């Protein structure tokens, strides 16, 4: 007979496409209930935007659905002790003095700011100057480039802006009334110095961005940012006064959800196969990103570092090819001579924001199955090249047999796909570890919620054995 949980933590994954609210037993790590709600992403060409109120409404819907499911486990809202939000990185949210959005948020995959990214890199003296200063070189995804785009293309909104937030900051502030971010998500803005652990005043001046518009930076993502306000509690159906953690970006939360922390050594290189693809690891040492402009030297959620490389085109691009070819996702064959680079949304790694898809090597004998296999291969090769650069940033030689033998943790929606797993294994030559549990971003956020009640989030997850 299943006992009624007495202490529950709520982890929220507010991603590009949807919100997931996962209710977790704080002692065992068992997922007790889950609620979901979709987002609406708008824009044509390089534009990708969402009204931040969509995220708030999706959070309400997801939490309500989760609470209904939790009731079926014999637990009510009173069992929930804390919550944390993990959100899509880099997005630019501009607010008025009442905390309302002045315009739809620019999302991480909005590539209109590519010219501004180039402008910023040149203004500071080139990629090496940025790597030395912030650990990362701005690309179109970074919030700094989006802020400069806003100043150039919508100066009225920029001048009227009373607050600048990242997506997870926006939701955290709605929950607890405090303007707080964390080092992990802040490190993806382009105006945060990961070496000093603070905003860089000279970069803010370069951007024409007042520090008064920015949230305070908590020591870690599991730091208690505040308490759930009565107004937010009434909307969500949760008890007022429960702990709200600072939260973090989705990649940082995924690392926590996998039990990865600043162990002092490289901790399990990870490939995440989602709408976008990411390669990352967690380390105690600041990454050596000079000369590796595609690697972002992010901070991790627990005070270490999260060197990461991101590709724009992963499962969504391959699914598009599957639909165009009229094939099931796993109805494939190796590409043979066919080579397909599925850069359907431009590309971030390599930095080709205006690129399109490219197909070559066709023969009379080429089959539809081979074309789909070539799409998988193009996405995976791009991601494995990104992984090599992440390993180099950690001071490792990808060609060293000991490095080449490191197992890969494979996560994200694609990790459940047979062809994705087979393609990664075949092209990498590495053993794969596919965690039995999913929703690592939300699990990481739930662990951060436990951190807000005094626990070490990474230790919590390791005890949960995710």
Which residues participate in catalysis according to the annotation?
250
Given a contact cutoff of 8 angstroms between Cβ atoms, the answer to whether 152 and 202 are in contact is: no
CA distance 179 to 273: 32
Query: Residues 82-100, buried b or exposed e (16+ Cβ, 10 A)?
Result: bbbbbbbbbbbbbbeeeee
Given a contact cutoff of 8 angstroms between Cβ atoms, the answer to whether 311 and 343 are in contact is: no
Please classify residue 421 by burial: count the beta carbons closer than 10 Å to its beta carbon, then call 0-12 exposed, 13-18 middle and 19+ buried: middle
Query: Going by C-beta distance under 8 Å and a sequence separation of 6 or more, which residues neighbour residue 388?
Result: 398
Distance of CA 127 to the CA centre of its chain: 23
CA distance 211 to 435: 41
Query: Going by C-beta distance under 8 Å and a sequence separation of 6 or more, which residues neighbour residue 307?
Result: 280, 281, 283, 287, 289, 295, 296, 297, 298, 390, 393, 394
């Amino acid at each position: 007979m299943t006992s009624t949980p007495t202490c529950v933590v709520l982890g929220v994954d507010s991603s590009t496409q949807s919100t997931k609210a996962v209710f977790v037993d704080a002692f065992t790590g068992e997922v007790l209930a889950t609620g979901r709600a979709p987002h609406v992403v708008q824009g044509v060409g390089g534009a990708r935007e969402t009204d931040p109120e969509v995220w708030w409404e999706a959070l309400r819907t997801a939490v309500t659905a989760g609470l209904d499911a939790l009731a079926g486990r014999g637990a009510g809202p009173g069992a929930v002790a804390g919550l944390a939000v993990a959100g899509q990185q880099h997005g630019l949210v501009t607010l008025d003095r009442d905390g309302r959005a002045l315009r739809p948020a620019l999302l991480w995959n909005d590539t209109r700011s590519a010219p501004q990214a180039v402008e910023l890199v040149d203004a500071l003296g080139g990629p090496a100057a940025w790597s030395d200063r912030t650990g990362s070189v701005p690309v179109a995804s970074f919030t700094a480039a989006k802020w400069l785009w806003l100043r150039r293309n919508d100066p009225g909104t920029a001048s009227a802006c009373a607050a600048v937030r990242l997506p997870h900051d926006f939701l955290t502030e709605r929950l607890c009334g405090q303007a707080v971010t964390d080092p992990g998500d802040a490190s993806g803005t382009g105006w945060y110095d990961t070496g000093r652990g603070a905003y860089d005043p000279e970069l803010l001046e370069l951007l024409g961005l007042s520090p008064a518009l920015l949230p305070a930076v908590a020591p870690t993502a599991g730091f208690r940012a505040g308490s759930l306000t009565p107004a937010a509690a009434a909307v969500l159906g949760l008890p007022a006064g429960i702990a709200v953690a600072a939260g973090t970006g989705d990649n940082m939360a995924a690392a926590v959800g996998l039990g990865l922390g600043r162990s002092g050594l490289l901790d399990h290189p990870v490939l995440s196969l989602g709408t976008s693809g990411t390669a990352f690891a967690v380390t105690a040492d600041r990454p050596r990103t000079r000369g590796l402009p595609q690697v972002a030297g992010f901070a991790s959620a627990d005070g270490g570092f999260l060197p990461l490389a991101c590709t724009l085109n992963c499962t969504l691009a391959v699914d598009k090819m599957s639909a165009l070819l009229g094939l099931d996702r796993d109805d494939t064959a190796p590409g043979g001579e066919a080579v397909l680079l599925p850069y359907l949304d431009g590309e971030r790694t390599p930095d080709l924001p205006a690129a399109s898809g490219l197909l070559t090597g066709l023969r009379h004998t080429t089959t539809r199955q081979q074309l789909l296999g070539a799409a998988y291969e193009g996405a995976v090769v791009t991601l494995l090249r990104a992984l090599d650069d992440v390993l180099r940033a950690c001071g490792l030689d990808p060609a060293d047999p000991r490095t080449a033998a490191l197992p890969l943790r494979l996560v994200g929606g694609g990790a459940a796909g047979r062809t994705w797993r087979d393609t990664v294994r075949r092209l990498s030559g590495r053993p794969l570890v596919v965690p039995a549990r999913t929703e690592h971003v939300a699990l990481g956020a739930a662990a951060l919620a436990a951190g807000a009640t005094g626990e070490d989030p990474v230790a919590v997850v390791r005890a949960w054995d995710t």
